[in-house]
């Protein structure tokens, strides 16, 4: 298979031939930097633990009589050595380049534990090289409890009598208690990734500045120990500030700028109090040491953005390279601001850990979400610039809703750079997002195998699919999953490559099945028993209408009013929705999940969840938005300023949800079908 597809079939069944200019440009990008070609030893070799550990060397065929020595540095610090006559090593492949024939010969190294090891080879006249040798399990961690259920919530939407206008980690502990009391086994969350701190209105959790670090706005300021200091407490209790918090709390949409201003004002005071303690806070300094270079550079980046703005290209040239001497000098000069950025990450991490610990004690696991990419002007793309392709944007090919294709504005990871770096980038990404989690959802999981690239600034229709080292990434994912005891859900909606779902299932990754999409060829809904056992089933996602809106068809009118789609199709869409509504009711009636002919939307919602709960799917997730009858979505794809995406709050506060009769009835239905004690 070529790394760059020269043609593909879009959602309309039309074969699209990719412009030659696009193919040539992408091929050049994938070739890697000049002089980086590796022949003797691959930069990274990923082997499964159920196969004999081995690595492959590539040598001129005429050198078959040479001898090669190798040294294996184990992850735990141990080392083993060996040497072989190449003529005795099996040939596993051959090719010709520039008139020279090369052989690939496999060298076994004996038993190895799971982990990230290093192999170095010395072939004398053939040269020397080193690379990663990663031993991975054949499958991800899988929760031993079958047929569980959980409650999904967008954390920022949570209202409470005590938060500061946005759901926070203390609200998460309250939500955990709510879920545990209802009998749920999971609390599902939106991505908790770090947004751009200098631009709080850039609110999408799916276009963060960093996927490795946390959203500081989720810090419960009054839960920070320094908030108890009399000077800080006085600032919080000051009447004008308290009135501002009351306004932030009362709004129906999150005022990100106002929340950021309020939290920053008090957290800066908390930080000042903390700095007076100097080196006495051992836990904070241990956190900084554990965060290493990545945390340091993240904090430097946030400070650079404060000084020079969001557009990295507009910065002084020497600051665009995190390795430059000027960046080091800047970091030395701006130490308090950089330590403040790390202080925020420290408290976000500690509060998330506390919520996860409470959840575990109550038999509940947090279910986190990993976005598909990062902002082109974000921290990750600056910290690890060699891992990204800045001249390209990730998106999707033309489909029914977007006939011109989609441009998400996110730079893709460089497939070749992943291997050249020994898969460090993806390993650290998976590891960071599995912290404090019992399950991890990977948004657009097909990115493990391929991504739709388009040249930045050009129409998405000029793009094509670029392939990634699927087996290697899947292996690294399995290794991190097993080490973290964290299950994995792969969001596999949309155009799925042939064989992708089957391979993910073999690796123990749960498929992501949405009720409205699971249909027979004639459009009827499939029976519950046809859902895969290795799957998560739900009625919706953050990009879809709420259940009540879908039933009423109000989402169709909302999109039309926002200028999304073809307004001339609105009557047809309503007719199709009425047909689909009838199909849903028919299958719910067929299997006895719905009894009354004149059932209201709550009864249909409960019946739909009862239907899903009887399926073999390992996890069923209910959306709290559906449980309390929300009709407005949190996100309308294809909109920007027309709709307050990622801002709409829940209409009930945390203290009220647990007593809402709709919520109580839905939880009771799920608990009856999937009791936690029987899981």
Residue 457: per-residue pLDDT: 87
Cα–Cα dist 300/304, whole Å: 6
Hey, where are the domains in the chain? Answer: 50-136
Cα–Cα dist 81/549, whole Å: 65
Tokens 């809106």, residue?
A: 549
* Token pair belonging to 421: 């770096």
Residue (of 509, 354, 368, 511) closest to 437 by Cα position: 368
Q: What is the DSSP string of 602-668?
A: HHHHHHHHHHHHTSS-SEEEEEHHHHTT--S-S--TT-STTS-TTTBPPSSBHHHHTT-HHHHHHHH
In this prediction, the residues of the chain whose per-residue pLDDT falls under 50 are 36
Helix or strand (DSSP H, E) at 579: helix 570-590
Cα–Cα dist 218/163, whole Å: 10
In sequence order, what are the residues at sequence separation of 6 or more whose Cβ sits closer than 8 angstroms to the Cβ of residue 666?
605, 606, 609, 622, 626, 627
Residue 37: per-residue pLDDT: 55
Cα–Cα dist 664/568, whole Å: 41
Identify any residues that bridge with 214 across adjacent strands, giving them in sequence order: 193
Q: What DSSP state is assigned to residue 421?
A: T
CATH of domain 50-136: 2.60.40
Degrees to nearest 5, angle at CA 248 with 245 and 249: 85
Tokens 């043609």, residue?
A: 7
Helix or strand (DSSP H, E) at 136: strand 128-136
Residue (of 505, 545, 529, 550) closest to 612 by Cα position: 529
Cα–Cα dist 423/476, whole Å: 8
Q: Is 157 exposed, middle or buried (0-12, 13-18, 19+ CB in 10 A)?
A: buried
Cα–Cα dist 308/319, whole Å: 10
For residues 9 and 16, the answer to whether their CB atoms sit within 8 Å is: yes
Residue (of 36, 107, 33, 102) closest to 72 by Cα position: 107
Residue 678: per-residue pLDDT: 57
Residue 34: per-residue pLDDT: 59
Cα–Cα dist 394/454, whole Å: 6
For residues 654 and 158, the answer to whether their CB atoms sit within 8 Å is: yes
What is the distance, to the nearest Å, from the Cα of residue 122 to the centroid of all Cα atoms in its chain? 40
Residue 109: per-residue pLDDT: 94
For residues 175 and 232, the answer to whether their CB atoms sit within 8 Å is: no
Residue 276: per-residue pLDDT: 87
Contacts 24+ apart (CB under 8 A), 672-675: 673/610, 673/613, 673/614, 674/147, 674/148, 674/149, 674/613, 674/620, 675/183
Three-state SS sequence of 488-547: EEECCCCCCCCCHHHHHHHCCCEEEEEHHHCECCCCCECCHHHCCCCEEEECCCCCCCCH
* Token pair belonging to 190: 């939106």
Cα–Cα dist 344/219, whole Å: 8
Helix or strand (DSSP H, E) at 558: helix 554-561
Residue 257: per-residue pLDDT: 98
Is-above-0.85 flag for pTM? Answer: yes
For residues 74 and 112, the answer to whether their CB atoms sit within 8 Å is: yes
């Amino acid at each position: 298979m070529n790394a760059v597809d020269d043609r593909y079939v879009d959602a309309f069944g039309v074969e699209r031939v990719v412009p030659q200019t696009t193919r040539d440009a992408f091929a050049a990008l994938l070739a890697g930097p000049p002089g980086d070609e590796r022949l003797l030893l691959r930069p990274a070799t990923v082997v499964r633990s159920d196969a004999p550990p081995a690595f492959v060397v590539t040598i001129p065929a005429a050198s078959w009589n040479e001898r090669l020595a190798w040294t294996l540095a184990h992850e735990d610090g141990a080392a083993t050595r060996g040497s072989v006559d190449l003529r005795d090593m099996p040939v596993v492949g051959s090719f010709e380049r520039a008139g020279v024939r090369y052989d690939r010969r496999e060298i076994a190294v004996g038993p190895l534990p799971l982990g990230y090891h290093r192999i170095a080879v010395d072939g004398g006249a053939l040269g020397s090289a080193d690379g990663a040798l990663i031993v991975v399990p054949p499958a991800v961690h899988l929760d031993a409890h079958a047929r569980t259920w959980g409650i999904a919530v967008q954390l920022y939407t949570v209202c409470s009598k005590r938060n500061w206008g946005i759901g926070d980690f203390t609200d998460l502990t309250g939500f955990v208690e709510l879920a545990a009391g209802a009998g749920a086994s999971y609390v599902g969350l939106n991505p908790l990734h770090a947004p751009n701190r200098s631009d709080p209105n850039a609110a999408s959790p799916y276009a963060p500045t960093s996927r490795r670090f946390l959203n500081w706005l989720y810090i419960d300021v009054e839960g920070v120990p320094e908030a108890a200091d009399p000077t800080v407490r006085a600032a919080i209790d000051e009447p004008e500030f308290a009135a501002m918090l009351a306004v932030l709390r009362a709004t129906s949409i999150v005022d990100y700028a106002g929340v950021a201003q309020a939290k920053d004002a008090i957290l800066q005071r908390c930080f000042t109090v903390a700095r007076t303690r100097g080196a006495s806070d051992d836990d904070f300094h241990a956190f900084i040491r554990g965060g290493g270079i990545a945390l340091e550079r993240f904090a430097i980046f946030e400070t650079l953005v404060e000084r020079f703005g969001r557009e990295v290209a507009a910065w002084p040239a020497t600051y665009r390279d995190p390795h430059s001497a000027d960046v080091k000098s800047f970091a030395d000069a701006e130490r308090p601001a950089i330590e403040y950025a790390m202080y925020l990450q420290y408290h976000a991490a500690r509060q998330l850990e506390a919520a996860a610990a409470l959840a575990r004690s109550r038999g509940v696991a947090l279910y986190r979400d990993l976005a598909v990419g990062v902002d082109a002007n974000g921290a990750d793309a600056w910290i690890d610039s060699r891992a990204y392709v800045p001249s390209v944007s990730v998106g999707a090919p033309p489909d029914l809703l977007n006939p011109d294709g989609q441009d998400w504005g996110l730079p893709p990871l460089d497939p070749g750079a992943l291997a050249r770096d020994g898969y460090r980038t993806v390993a650290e990404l998976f590891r960071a997002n599995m912290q404090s989690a019992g399950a991890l959802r990977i948004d657009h999981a097909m990115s493990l195998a391929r991504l739709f690239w388009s040249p930045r600034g050009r129409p998405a229709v000029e793009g094509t699919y670029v392939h990634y080292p699927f087996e290697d990434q899947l292996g690294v994912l399995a290794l991190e999953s097993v080490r973290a005891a964290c299950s994995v859900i792969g969001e596999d909606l949309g155009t799925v490559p042939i064989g992708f779902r089957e391979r993910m299932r073999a690796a123990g990754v749960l498929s992501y099945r949405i009720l409205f999409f699971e249909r027979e060829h004639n459009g009827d809904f499939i029976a519950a028993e046809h859902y895969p056992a290795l799957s998560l089933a739900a009625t919706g996602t953050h990009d879809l209408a709420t259940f009540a809106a879908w039933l009423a068809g109000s989402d169709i009118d909302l999109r039309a009013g926002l200028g999304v789609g073809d307004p001339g199709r609105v009557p047809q869409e309503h007719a199709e929705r009425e047909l689909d509504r009838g199909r849903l009711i028919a299958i719910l009636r067929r299997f006895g999940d719905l009894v009354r002919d004149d059932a209201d939307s709550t009864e249909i919602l409960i019946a739909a969840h009862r239907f899903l709960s009887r399926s073999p799917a390992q996890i069923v997730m209910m959306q709290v938005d559906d449980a309390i009858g929300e009709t407005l979505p949190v996100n309308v794809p294809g909109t920007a300023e027309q709709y307050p995406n990622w801002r709409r709050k829940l209409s009930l506060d945390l203290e009220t949800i647990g007593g809402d009769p709709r919520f109580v009835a839905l939880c009771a239905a799920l608990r009856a079908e999937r009791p936690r004690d029987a899981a």
